[in-house]
Amino acid sequence: MKKHLYFSSRVFLFSSLFLLQVSQSAIGQKNATSAAKPYVSPYYTYDDDGDGVPNYRDKCVNTPKGEKVTPFGCPMDTDFDLVYDYEDDCINEKGPRSNKGCPIVNLDTDSDGIFDNEDLCPEVAGVKKNRGCPEIKEEDTKALKEAFDNLLFETAKDVIQESSYESLNTLAKVLINNPKYKLHLEGHTDNVGDDDANYTLSQKRSIAVRKYLSRKGVGESRITAEWYGENKPKTTNDTPEGRKLNRRVEMNIVY
């Protein structure tokens, strides 16, 4: 009887030790697994523009697809002129955004006293008040000015307000009646908000004016458009009045 109890006790002891070792092994494996795979917030994996740089480290989250970027997610700017390479026509030479990243060279091809970089008609002699293009008739100048003065958009949108239609229609008639005329548009914004958003808004508003005039019978090929966002203010952005003047689509008749 004593031998039987002694044997049973040893079996129970060995079984308990075995279960304890198995339990400790399982806990160790669980801890090892936890250590190998720490929790990572999904925020750290987001990459909206797909450039390989996650949003939390990306300083330019709207980079166009396929563009090379810096470790901080911004497009390359080889010449450090603040114009990204994909927008820069001269990636190895510094130049302003207004000249597509290229240096400004003071040429005057038509010898009218207005340098080519400021001349909307660089091969046709013109006058300064018409940005280097030939002088236009007084009534046509008036129609152009009224279209510019009356042009209004919905806030932060490229939707032209109905109050602008009449003067734009008059301008369309001027262009239709003068086949040699061409129209050059330049979109601008104030400095409120994001730089890229303002640049895009100035683009959309310029194109909106071009499309409107085209629907009124003006060949779209006769209307050129450029946009500068907040980069070429007409006056100060420090006052509501100044910001209002800087939000504009300039219009010039060219040849």
Rounded Cα distance between 119 and 133, Å, is 7
Per-residue pLDDT in tens (0 to 9) along the chain, 255 residues: 444 444 455 544 455 555 555 455 555 555 555 555 665 566 567 888 888 899 888 889 889 988 999 998 999 999 999 899 999 999 999 888 888 898 877 889 999 999 888 888 898 899 888 889 888 889 999 999 999 999 999 999 999 999 999 999 999 999 999 998 999 999 999 999 999 999 999 999 999 999 999 999 999 999 999 999 999 999 999 999 999 999 999 999 988
Rounded Cα distance between 126 and 158, Å, is 32
What is the reported pTM?
A: 0.56
Alpha carbon of 4 to those of 8, 12, 57, 127: distances in Å? 6, 12, 71, 121
What residue has token string 């100060």?
A: 236
Q: What is the pLDDT of residue 13?
A: 47
Ordered domains of the chain (ranges, CATH)? 136-254 (3.30.1330.60)
Nearest to 98 by CA among 83, 86, 108, 84: 83
- Which residues, including other chains, have CB under 8 Å from residue 116's CB and lie 6 or more apart? 105, 107, 108, 109, 122
Reading the block at residue 181, the tokens are 């005329």
